[in-house]
Amino acid sequence: QLGLQFILWYSILSLNAGVHMPRVLAFPAIAAALLLDEGALAIRKKDIPTPPPPPEWMFNKRNCSCLNWKEAYDLHGAKCGQGLERFADSLWMDKFRIAAYPTDKTAMEYAEKDVCKHMFTRMNFNYAMNTRIAPMHMPDIYPKPHVSLQELSTPQTWCYVRASLTCSMPHGHHVPGTGLSIKLVEPGEDVALRDLPMEKILDLAKTNILDLGELLPNAAHIMWPHDKYDPDNVTSEDLSLVKAFNRPTMIMSTDVKKARLFVQGDNVVKFQPGWPQGSVPLEMPLQ
For residue 128, give the DSSP letter: B
Q: What is the pLDDT of residue 62?
A: 52
Low-confidence ranges of the chain (pLDDT < 70): 1-63, 93-94, 284-287
**β-bridge pairing 129-130 and 157-162:** antiparallel
For β-strands 267-271 and 180-185, DSSP reports them as unpaired
182 - beta bridge partners? 160
Task: Give the per-residue pLDDT at 112.
Answer: 92
CA end-to-end span of the chain: 87
Is this structure's pTM higher than 0.85?
Answer: no
Pure H helices in 119-235:
149-153, 198-208, 212-219
Tens digit of pLDDT for each residue in 1-57? 545 444 444 444 444 444 444 444 444 444 444 444 545 444 454 555 555 544 443
| DSSP bridge pairs for 253 | none
pLDDT recorded at residue 245: 97
CA-CA distance, 120 to 85, in Å (whole number)? 8
pLDDT at 20: 46
Q: What is the pLDDT of residue 284?
A: 56
Can you tell me the distance from the alpha carbon of 266 to that of 55, in angstroms, rounded to the nearest whole number? 50
User: What interhelical angle do 198-208 and 212-219 show, nearest 10?
Assistant: 130
